[in-house]
Structure 1
Amino acid sequence: MTVPDLGSILLASPDPDRLRDWYCRAFGATPTPDGDVRFGGVSLLFDRRDDIAAENPEPGRTILNFHVDDARSVAARLDEMGADWLVRLEERSEGMLFGTLIDPDGNYFQIIELGARYVAARVVTPSTTLNSAPYSGFAVDDIEAATAFYRDVLGLTVTEEYGLLSLHVGGDKTVLVYPKENHTPATYTILNFPVDDIEAAVDTLRERGVTFDRYPGMESDERGIFRGGGPYIAWFTDPAGNILSVLQER
């Protein structure tokens, strides 16, 4: 049996709109058209229910953990909002910053920053025999933009840990995406997505705002599909300028 992804968490509330707006202000998030708020690969849902108390009577039963890149700046914004702290932000072992707060419905949530020392302490020494399955990776200049593009536009499962993205591209295959301030896009195609119907794939991506690129000497049709030698292929770029393609074997 394949272990399923955790897709969403529901916060029931007598005033879900107020609670959603509060979390959006706290973390600078924007609701989706469906009204949920996405944090990495998990959606936070807000729903009105009549079978709950106005304030959570057991706030320690379920606690939301938000992993952030800069816990001190997030804490400062929460202080400006007048948020209630259960445990003030503090540094714990190996450079981890950790704080617990209370939202307007009385739920506990935590902000956690995993510092460089914490991450370094958990790096596993690689095998010198190179027997493990390798995986590829590439850089982007904006992790949030990359998350939205690969998850919402391309429809991939995207998870985030330690400020890095993992693109789950089929089976147990994973591609690592990492931030790089002085990122320069590669001049070659970094990811190729095989499809059964390239015309349908191109039309779907166009509807989602993707623009297909044309290259000198590679004459493409009206859809942007190159039909010369080899597979049918259409190229496009991610928000960081990395070149991707969809391709169909002849």
Structure 2
Amino acid sequence: MTSPDLGSILLASPDPDRLRDWYCRAFGATPSPDGDVRFGGVSVLFDQRDDVAAKNPEPGRTILNFHVDDAAAVAARLDEMDADWLVPLEERSEGMLFGTLIDPDGNYFQIIELGARYLAARVPAPSATLGSAPFSGFAVDDIDAAAAFYRDTLGLTVTEEYGLLAIQIGGDKTVLAYPKENHTPAEYTILNFPVEDIDAAVDALRERGVTFERYQGMEADERGIFRGGGPYIAWFTDPAGNILSVLQER
């Protein structure tokens, strides 16, 4: 049995609009037309309920963890909002910044920055020959545009250090993006993202502004999905023109 995806979290509140707007200001987010707020791959729903107190009596029971690229900048914005800190931002281990705050309803949430040093320390030690944890990389012409696309549009965890991007593409797998002058987009698919429902994935990406490619000899349907031989697949590009895909096994 395939484990389910965690699609959303509900924060109940006596004043859900106030709480949603507070989180949007804290993290520079924008609510969807339905009122939920998407953080990476998880939507947070804010709902009014009569069976919750004005202040959470057990805030340590459930804590939202926000993985950010620049914890110091997020902390500064929260300070401007007079946010309450339970544990100030600190370096927990080399390359990891960690802080715990209290939202207006008394819920705890945390901001976490996993820097390149922290991630590199978690890579298994290489063997005497080729190593036990190889990773791939690709070039882009605009590192800031790439970071915004892979983080905000695709909902992946992206960390940046020394002008390079470490993109978490599932589990402990990381791919590196690096800036290159006179960049020429790859003419092949550099990343494939397996999904369980390609129609839903394509629709969700379209809502985030992604345009799907069509190639001669690979006739796609109205969504841009090729349903010929092999898996169902739809191709799109990142801001640098590199080709990506979502695909679903038949």
Determine if the alignment matches structure 1 residue 146 to structure 2 residue 158: no
Identity across the alignment (%)? 65
Determine if the alignment matches structure 1 residue 38 to structure 2 residue 38: yes
Q: Distance in 2 between matches of 1:3 and 1:136?
A: 27
Shift of 1:60: 1.1
- Whichever residue aligns with residue 211 of structure 2, its letter is V
Partner of 1:243: 243
Q: For structure 2, list consecutive stretches of 5 or more residues without a partner in the other structure.
A: 161-165, 193-198
Worse-superposed segment, 99-108 or 176-185? 176-185
Q: Deviations over 1:196-234 (max 9, x none)?
A: xxxx9xx979976626478xxx7999x9x9xxxx99x99
Taking the TM superposition and a 5 Å limit, the aligned residue runs for 1:1-250 are: 1-127=1-127, 137-140=137-140, 141=143, 142-150=146-154, 159-160=156-157, 162=159, 164-167=166-169, 176-182=174-180, 184-191=183-190, 210=211, 212=213, 236-244=236-244
Q: What secondary structure is seen at the aligned counterpart in 1 of 2:111?
A: strand
- Say how many residue pairs are matched: 225
- Whichever residue aligns with residue 188 of structure 1, its letter is E
Q: What secondary structure is seen at the aligned counterpart in 2 of 1:143?
A: helix
What CA RMSD, in Å, does the superposition of the two structures yield over aligned residues? 4.2
Q: Deviations over 1:109-164 (max 9, x none)?
A: 111122333223212124567797977554553233234544xxxxxxx6426564
Q: Give TM-score, length-normalised by structure 2.
A: 0.69
Q: Give TM-score, length-normalised by structure 1.
A: 0.69
- Whichever residue aligns with residue 110 of structure 1, its letter is Q
Q: For structure 1, list consecutive stretches of 5 or more residues without a partner in the other structure.
A: 151-157, 194-199
Q: Distance in 2 between matches of 1:105 and 1:8?
A: 19
Q: Distance in 1 between matches of 2:57 and 2:205?
A: 48
CA contact (8 A) 2:12 2:48 kept: yes
Q: Distance in 1 between matches of 2:120 and 2:134?
A: 20
Name which one, 1 or 2, has greater alpha-carbon Rg: 1
- Whichever residue aligns with residue 61 of structure 2, its letter is R
Q: Distance in 1 between matches of 2:121 and 2:191?
A: 35
